[in-house]
Structure 1
Amino acid sequence: MRNKIILLIIMVSVFFIKLYPATAVTLTVCTSGCNTTVIQNAIYNASNGDIINILNGTYTEDITVNISVTLNATPYISVIGGFNVSVDNVTINGFNITQGITLVQSGLNGNYGIGIYVTSNNNNIKDNYIFNITGKNSGDSFTTGITGGIGGIGMGIYLSISSNNNITNNTITQIYGGTGGAGATAGTGGDGGLSSGIYLTNSINNNISLNNISNIYGGQGGAGGSGAPGPGGTGGLAAGIYLSNSTGNNITSNNFTKIIGGNFGGTGSYKGAYQKGFGVYISSDSYNNEIDTTNMVSGEAVYYYYKKNGITISNLVLNKNVSSTNLGKIVLINSSNFTIVNNTIANFTGESGNSGAMDVTGKKGNIGVGIYLLNSSGTNISFNTVSLIYGGNGGSGGNSEDGGIGGISASVYLNNSLNIYISDNIISKIIGGQGGAGGYGDGSGGTGGIGVGVYLTSSTNNNITHNNITEINGSKGGTGSFRGSGGIGGIGAGIYLIASTSNNISLNNISQLNGGLGGDGGAGTGSAGSNQIGFGIYINSDSYNNEIDTTNLVEGNKIIYYYNKTGITVKDNILTKNNSPTNLGKIVLINSSGFTITNNTIANFTGEAGTSGSYAAAGNQGQISQGIYLLNSSGNNITLNTIMQIYGGIGGTSGDDGGLGGTGGNAQGIYLELSANNNITNNTIKEITGGRGGTAGQSSTGGGTGGIGIGIYLKNSSGNNITYNNITKTYKGPAGASGSGASAGAEGEAAAIYLTAGSNNSIAYNWLYNNSNYTIYNNQNLNITAELNYFNASTSAAIGSLVYDYYEDSSLGIVDYKPWYLDTAFTISSDQAPSITINAPINNYNVSNETITFNITIDSNQSIANVSLYANFSGTYTINETNSSGDKNISYIFSKTLDDGSYLWSIEACDIDGNCTMTANRTINLDTTAPTMDILAPLGGSTIATADVIATASYSDFNNVSCEARIDAGSWQNMLGDGKNSG
């Protein structure tokens, strides 16, 4: 029984201590007369819960706080050093903190500089002035090819694995990231160090409010190695608040100014990427934070919403040259039912990519966005003006590695979002980020960033309508290293779709789309990258299922794109502007049937260029281009269309010591894939040119082969009727250019009709001539029949030389043709217009005879349908007379009796195939009436007493006149004031 009683007493004693802790002791620190003159000593002598008041003095200490105390400074006591807080329930209040403590890093990387370092919970850091904290410069590399170290991070307050802290009313200024180290010979410069007013990693549920954060500067990137120069490093990022793997934090009423990213390392063509500064930097693992609009960046509010609903954002002007977050000026994540209307948004630039270590590619530049939505729905984005949005630049490649791809820029960016209504926005001046420089030796420049008006990825059921999208630019590719190739330029697109379906796109007006320029080759012997193209709407192969109607315009031309449609007539369109409305063609049918496509004029389409190859790699193939594109479509009637000037995409430049430059993309007047039972007849197809092969990289295998120029292309397509088409002037794609130590490539092929992958079709009565290579190219092991086509040859041997089949490659099928000349009913057509020689009258002909004879000689391959005289004899410029005799290679006479006057006239000649030529306007001046003249002085019978006689007269005429006078049969003298029709 006694043992039980003792146990009870012990338990009660413990319980008593927890309920009634000892009273806190107050300790003082000052220069004299206090408990101690050293803050650290006061902490060592304190117990949990004690209060330490620092009354005066300046303290040069790195202070470790390893017991739960309150440190109060009589404002503002200076600490030259910083605080390292490793226990819970600490208060640090009222200090001037400068220089900070050092957190040592490994290798060449610079050490961190930190004002207050917290690795614990439930602390209160308030009313401190933290300034002049610098991450240490990193070490230079001295091992060939090795990248310099990364500059140290400078942080005012650093929370690591910390929660439930209150960080409030602090002033944090002059925080600097360290400079990146120089690369060794052939090495890339290290990146500049990050700088941040408050930095959180792996920290949750903290309150960060009412802090004033300014003059935060990322460190400068390091220089590339000298001698064999590598590119410089990327400048260090700057952030007012930086969140890494940190959630549930409340960030309110903070004020940020002068948040400036670090400058690039290196100079000239060897420079790295400059970096940006952001008010609040939010890593992808840190979206779940409360960051409200009371946070201000240079007077501009931060608009960031996570898991919010039903908010209106309207009538804002967000055009300061600041990036409030790293995601965009207005950001919605996991949010719904917002209204974003009538805002002006401008001047946002995405984060640049970091440079690569040795054997590591430079990092991709990040997106630059005006309005950013992730996992969001049911939002209305309308009547906003968005401009001057830039993607981040790619980082420099490590030794012999490629530069990073430039970042995407977009006015509106949807990621995994649905039911968003985007309408009536004015979008302009959107520019992708520049590709990063290649690493020394052999690295190719990075691909230029894509510039896009509206970008959708993994997004469905959105409505994009009535937007005005203009001046959209892909960026320049990165510069190659010493021997490396330049990167390809970035795509410019009004709307870009990837992994996105069931969106409705209508009534958008899109213009001034420009792909980026190819990057320069390395300063030694590198080859330049290829230039890129702009597209009205770029449709990735996983995004065909979208409603894109003909109310969308690109430079005034309709976008004609149909998915899963039937029974529509497409006719009488003139689609000749020099642009590519989509990346697939000027008229596109996918999974569609029963269409009639007739009497359209299509011209000037160019395919997407291929990307540059990396070191030791070939360039990538240019993309195909076509006037009319059919995929998995059947039962369509394509007739009486004129298709011309279609160009395949340029192949990509090969890398240094790589394979061939990329093959040029094929160009097709009409393209059929997996399409059956279509009727293709009476179309005129000409001037179809394969894409140029990619340029050879330095010491590569050589330039790329040109693409194939094709009138009609059939792939896995059968049962189609191809008749009475006039296909001419299909041209081989030009050979890729040579590079240093590498030869030029080979020309491509050309064919009027090209078949591959099991295509069996009826091919008859087509005019196939003046092609630079073949009439029919049977690139499959299937025999085909092509009867009674005109091959511009009159013997079997000559025709055979124009056909590519089994007899050129025994793995292919045979083309069985019945020559055109065996059918007497066959009519030969031509696409060459007649030529006109005007024999009389000459241009600007002045004549006094009222009868004018017009004498013209017509030369033509075909019979002449008509020759017409156009004139304004009746006051209206129109056809005056037509001769339809049908004769060719003879002279035509038109005789006209006219009144006095000045007339315009010209001649038009058309052959029976509908080819017409018209001369430039000429002028005739007819004047059959003599001028009138009255002598005004001297009068008749006058006596003149002087030696000089002045004669004056008035005159008038239909035409200008020349006036002369003489006395007593003397010589004629010009009178002043002549050369007019009256005077």
Structure 2
Amino acid sequence: MAKRRSYRPYAVIFLILPLFLSLGNVSAAQWNVGIGQDYNNIQEAIYNVNTADGDIINVFNGTYEEDVVVNKNLIIKANNNDTVTLKPVDVGFNIVNDTTGNGGGTKITGFIINLINGRLGMNISADHCMIENNTINGGEKGIITIGNNTLIKRNKIFGVSNISIQAGYSSIINEAGSTKIIIQTANNTLVDRNQITGGLTGIAIMGNNNIVSKNTIFNVSDSGIALVGSYPIISDNKLSNMVGPGSKIGITVAALNLEGTTGLTMNNNILNNIRSADNKTTGIDIYAMSMDAQLDDIIVKGNKISDISGFGENTGISVVTLALKGAMSSFKVSDNIITNIVSQGINSTCKGIYCLPMGFDGNNTTESETLLISKNKITKLKCEDEGGQCQGLSYLQLIQGNSSISENYISEIVGNTMAAGIFALGIDYTTFKSQMTINRNQITDIIANNATSGIMSVNMGDMFILHNNIFHLYSNNSRFITTQPILSNATIMGNNLEGTGKEIGISVNGNSTISYNRMVNFQYYIKNMVFLELVMEMYPFTDEQLRDYIKSQYEDITDEQLDEIIAAFHKLVDYMNSFPSYTTAPYNWYGTNTDPGNSKFSPSNGTINFKPWLILNINANPPTIQVGQTSKITTNVYKDSIGGDHSANAVQFFSGPWVTFTTNLGNIGSKSIIVNWINGLATAILRGDEGPGLARVTATDYQTVQTFVTILGVPVPHGFIDPNVIKMQDTGMPITYILMALTLLLGGLVLSTKK
């Protein structure tokens, strides 16, 4: 007999709960609007007492001349495949949260809104609204929201006179003689996949935790995206054709939090053709600031910027951060591509990437965990008018922390007065221990009239300049690496530098160790410089010019005060110049196996110890081969001039261009090939494919060395029978008798001839 189940009242709840949930969906009604439908206009459908939160307003084909106020949570949509046009007098859709009701949660989709001048497409003051797949033409502004958690997606906005999409705002008002700043934020806004053409600004947002992604913006006149607030994310947007008078900024972000922390992500945006006829231009301009808290991650990665031009100051990417009374988590600018920036005008400047991380707490610097500028590609920057200065990558550090500038590619940087591939300045005036590493950068074609430098660096902590390749610097004064460690040391190792015979390879001020570098074809391989020497060469000025500059900055200064300042300046320079530079520079390759000579080194008021130097060697393995076989030819600079072997330190050696191999017999790919150095070593393969003989193989990197490879003919293995030779028939007669008979026969022929 089966047991009867006991009655459990709570079980009924689980049985009927799905029914109640399904009733919630069933209760949503759809009200149709149009000729012959439930309502003739949209507003009537919304205001009807039967229309409740969650209902659907479905609008059929036609043009509706009305301003729509939405004070309920509704879905308002164009009927599938219909063309529904709204022609408002003032505002197309006004979603409110006021005494008449709350339109929070409303979704509006599928409408065409045609505006007259000075009017608005949509105005949203409620939260959690969704605006999707609408088209707005003309007017002053397309979409404005001060609500939170708004989704603005896949809309098309054409020809507004001001801002296409605006979330939040700030304004300045004067009341009773006092100035007030009013700020209304819109937080957690997502602006995604919209298409914007025309206007002053494409997207403008003030608020926190906002995301702007995958939008396409054309032909705006002032800025493509402007955002103020903490923790913004700006990614995968496309901006182009910002052309005309006035200053231009593709994307400008102020990631601010005056009461706590903030961070920023700026990834994978594409900007091109930003041009001002009379003012400055910037591709991406970032300022991030936290107060009394740690400044979180600043990430700028994978952006592509091209074709920027203007007058005065023009920059591809500018990133400035300030942590007040707090540390900074990380500062990373990487994998960006910047090309074709042109600055015009007297004393104009041009920078591919400009970075300024700062951290202060009272009179001390605060600390950053990571400072990284990496894998950026910067090419074709020009600033050729009088006084123009051009820098591929400019990095100024006013915070504690070890920084790394690595694996960047910088090329075709052209200035009038000065051009530099990398300019780096590190000031940690609290601990004096922040290290700066500049490594594995490729820098070529830096051109100016007065002065050029591949790498210019100053740091108050230790400096490491490692494995950089620098070529093709052209000016009256070219220094491939210039470094000045202040109260610290510089290590310059594994760099590959090649000049034209009139430049300076490495210029240093302070204590430096220079080893395992390739420095070939320079007027001076190494020069010790005195304080401000490079600055004076780049920007020569007289006392009178200095006096005029100071007066321009301080109008009330007296002549007596000016005299005192200039005298103090000269005393400072003389004092700094009194400190000698001691440079230890053994184990470098200078393109010669003989003594490079003291005349190639300029010790100034210090010393340069350049001995011993590296020498070029070559060997073949194996040195003897058969026809059709190969021999590995290896050249390296692992031995020094007094016989020391440095092969154990191969990873510290230079790489890059190059060695030329040649052979007079066989081939190494051809009779002559060019091979890059890899950690002080280069190889080629000799193939013995031209027959036997003695192959002379050379390796040249200014110095030429040679080795020989013996190529033997193919040996005949024991028992080998050539199939092309006819075998003699076996007659059974010993070979000796055959030879005797042949001799007698030939002898008889000779005798008969003589008779």
Q: Choose between structure 1 and 2: higher strand proportion.
A: 2
